[in-house]
Amino acid sequence: MTNITIKGHEIQKIHIKDSCDRRALQIKNNIIKLLGTIGVIEDDVDVSLERIAIKRAPAHVSWYFDKQHLYFSYNSTGKFVENLAVIYKVLELEITALVEERMTVDEFVAKYREEHDVKEKRKLARETLGLEHDEIDLDVINKKYKDLAKEHHPDKEGGDTEKFKEINNAHKTLKRELQ
């Protein structure tokens, strides 16, 4: 089996072949239950389901913890249901580390804290870097970032400090999403 690394955790690549809609609902309920183990109430959790869980689509979870808005999305597998399963597995590892005090609350919050308009910011970041709206290949993103950063670097003749800052912020936004 192939392994993938997400947020510093190596997990087996997840393949779900059947009953995708039912499994997506089960995973959603498991995520809500898992977040409940650290005191997050169900009303503070948002796990949107796709109408057809087998289709290619990103999955995301949004919740409130320690008076902060936290958010985690994943979009690197072939199916929505598999993306959601990856989110569950990573959250399970992270919450276990939190409960076992191998991670502090501040470290946990820092990994997932996002603004409410995170989707819009990611969309704008892709536009700023001249990427396709669904680009998730970090190598492609890094290459585009480096090319634009060289072009607009303030130390270069004709460089633009504001554009350079905008490019850096866009890259940081996408890098945070995909690591």
| pLDDT one-digit tens code per residue, 98-148 | 999 999 999 999 888 876 666 777 778 788 888 887 777 778 888 888 888
* Tens of pLDDT, residues 27-63: 999 999 999 999 999 999 999 999 999 998 889 999 9
Structure tokens that stand for 167 in this block: 């490019």
Domain boundary among 97, 112, 127: 112
Residue 16 has pLDDT above 70, yes or no: yes
Structure tokens that stand for 35 in this block: 């977040």
Closest of 140, 108, 135 to residue 122, by C-alpha:
135
Is 126 in the same domain as 141? yes
Is 47 in the same domain as 14? yes
Is 105 in the same domain as 126? no
Is 141 in the same domain as 107? no
pLDDT band at 13 (very low <50, low <70, confident <90, very high): confident
Is 7 in the same domain as 95? yes
Domain boundary among 77, 112, 147: 112
Q: What per-residue confidence (pLDDT) applies to 116?
A: 64
**Domain range for 164:** 118-178
Is 134 in the same domain as 60? no
Compute how many other C-beta atoms are within 10 angstroms of the C-beta atom of residue 141.
Answer: 21
Mean per-residue pLDDT for 148-161?
Answer: 85
Q: Which of 20-45 are b and which e, b meaning 16 or more Cβ less than 10 Å from the residue's Cβ?
A: beebbbebbebbbebbeebebeeebb
Q: What per-residue confidence (pLDDT) applies to 40?
A: 96
Is 83 in the same domain as 126? no
Distances (CA, A) of 83 to 6, 8, 49, 80: 12, 17, 11, 5
CA 127 to chain centre: 18
Mean per-residue pLDDT for 145-154?
Answer: 86
Give me the number of domains the chain comprises: 2
- What CATH number is given to the structural domain containing 144? 1.10.287
Is 102 in the same domain as 131? no
What percent of the chain is predicted at pLDDT more than 70? 95
Is 77 in the same domain as 137? no
Q: Distance between CA atoms of 145 and 167, rounded to whole angstroms? A: 7
Is the pTM higher than 0.75? The answer reads no
Is 66 in the same domain as 150? no
Element at 142 (helix H, strand E): helix 138-152
Domain boundary among 112, 139, 167: 112
Tell me the backbone φ, ψ of residue 5, rounded to 5 degrees.
-110, 125
